[in-house]
Structures are given as structure tokens and as C-alpha cells.
Structure 1
Amino acid sequence: MTQDPTRAELPAAMQEIADDFADLLAPQRLELLLEFSEGLPELPERYAGRLGEMEQVHECQSPIFLAVEVDEEPVDPGSRAVHLYFSAPAEAPTTRGFAGILHEGLDGLTVDEVLAVPEDAPYRFSLGEAVSPLRLRGMVGMLSRIKRQVRLKTQA
């Protein structure tokens, strides 16, 4: 798949996910989205029952909350890893799927890598035929809030 040289690149893990979606027909994309939904990790115990300490993503049609943590110690000199945590109801598979994509594509990347993710990344998963624009706006909201929290936690 050829990339538009004027578009910012996705991190490797996100690009791999985008390529996987692009290789499928719309009904199969929904199946893959469901797989991401089912693969979303459970909240760690420190967040269980503490949604008030997480940020709600109001752009999503379903109640989803996220928390971003940034390691104190750098992975490499000058680069700290970002970790993402999501709470989304099982009866909201689309929302959970979006969270699963972002978790798999971003969790463990460095601060600079997360902040470099292009704002249009959610539109690169070929989901426009499979889900409504309003639903995709929820994923855009998740990414925006993740990046904002990373900036706040690192003063970047």
C-alpha cells in the first residue's frame, strides 16, 4: 500500500492495524473491530471502581473513560513510555473496538511518538463504510484526549 508523502506517518503498530483493516471488506472490518473490542485489556486494580479518577470521552456515544500514565524513568535517554487504560461497557463493542485499536497501537510508545500521531489517524482504519461518522468522531475524541493528557503529564 503506497503512502501519501504529504501525510504524517502513523507509528508502526498503528500502520499495521490500518493495513489489516484496509485489506478487508466492510463486513470483515466490523468483525476485526469486534476482535479489538474483545481484546481490550481490563482495567488495572488501581482504577477499578474509580472512574472519577479517569477522564470521560464525551464525544463517544457510549460511556468510555480513559487514563494515561507516563513512566517516570525514560525507556531511552529522553523518552518516557506512555500507558493507556480504558473503561468501556461490554455492550458498546464499537467504542471498545476503537479503544482496543488505540491501546494496541499506542500503549508503550514514547511521549514523542504519541504526540506525533496525526490527528486524522482514526480515519485511516478504513472504517468509514462500516461505522457512522459520528462513531468515528468518538475515536478522534479519544486520541485528542490521550494526547492532551500526555502533554499535561509531561508539560510537552
Structure 2
Amino acid sequence: MEQVDECMTPVFLSAQLHDGKVYYHIDVPSDAPTMRGFAGILYVGLNGATPAAIAATPGDLCQQLGLQKALGALRTRGFTALLRRMQRNAVDLTETA
């Protein structure tokens, strides 16, 4: 697992490609409920998707979901950082397959 360094909370992520789909494992401490929620949203939406679908996920997803209205800039950046890392992992997996 690799740490998502852009997140203030220690978030760890791993990804595997199986039958053309990406499967993630995300580890977030239990004392970080907001980041755990972000990870859960992204996990449900992206786990088991194709690399192309993951790469096509809008970079402004947090804004499209309206989350930035309720969250501060740091939390919005954390959500976006995790999304970008998941996208990067999906692309990397296709390049090494």
C-alpha cells in the first residue's frame, strides 16, 4: 500500500487489475471519519470499474456533488487528492498490464 501524501490524514491505497477492472483497498484511520467517508464514496463509485471509466471521472467531482459547500478547502483537497491517486493508479495498472 502506498500513502496518499497529499492528504493530511494518513490514507493508504492499493489497486489491482483483475479481468480488466480495478479493485482498490483503502485504509483510513477510524479517528478520521470525514476522510473515511470520502474514501467510502470513492470506493463505492470506482471499485470494480474499468480503468477508462476511472480515468474519465471528473476531477471536480467534489464540486459536482456539492461537497465543497459544506467542507473547507483542506477537506476538499483531500477528497480530490484521493480521487486523483485512484485515477493515476488505474492508468498505471493499464500501462504495466
TM-score, structure 2 length as denominator? 0.90
Q: Does residue 130 of structure 1 match 2:79?
A: no
| Matched-pair contact (CA < 8 Å) for 1:57–1:138 | no
Identity %: 40
Q: Residue 56 of structure 1 corresponds to which residue in structure 2?
A: 3
Summarize the alignment of residues 1-150 of structure 1 with structure 2, pairs less than 5 Å apart: 54-71=1-18, 73=19, 80-150=20-90
- Structure number with bigger Rg: 1
Q: CA shift at 1:152, angstroms?
A: 1.2
| Matched-pair contact (CA < 8 Å) for 2:62–2:68 | no
Normalized per residue, the structure richer in helix is: 2
Q: Which amino acid aligns with 1:64?
A: V
Deviations 1:101-151 (A, max 9, x none): 000111111111111111111222211232111111011111111111111
Tell me the SS of whatever aligns to 2:17.
strand
Structure 2, gaps ≥5 residues long: none
4+ runs of 1 displaced by more than 2 Å? none
Q: Which amino acid aligns with 1:131?
A: L
| Matched-pair contact (CA < 8 Å) for 1:64–1:89 | yes
Structure 1, gaps ≥5 residues long: 1-53, 74-79
Whole-angstrom CA distance in 1 between matches of 2:4 and 2:63: 18
Q: Which amino acid aligns with 1:83?
A: Y
Tell me the SS of whatever aligns to 2:6.
coil
Whole-angstrom CA distance in 1 between matches of 2:4 and 2:62: 15
Deviations 1:14-49 (A, max 9, x none): xxxxxxxxxxxxxxxxxxxxxxxxxxxxxxxxxxxx
| Matched-pair contact (CA < 8 Å) for 1:119–1:143 | yes
What RMSD in Å do the two structures reach over aligned CA positions?
A: 1.4
TM-score, structure 1 length as denominator? 0.58
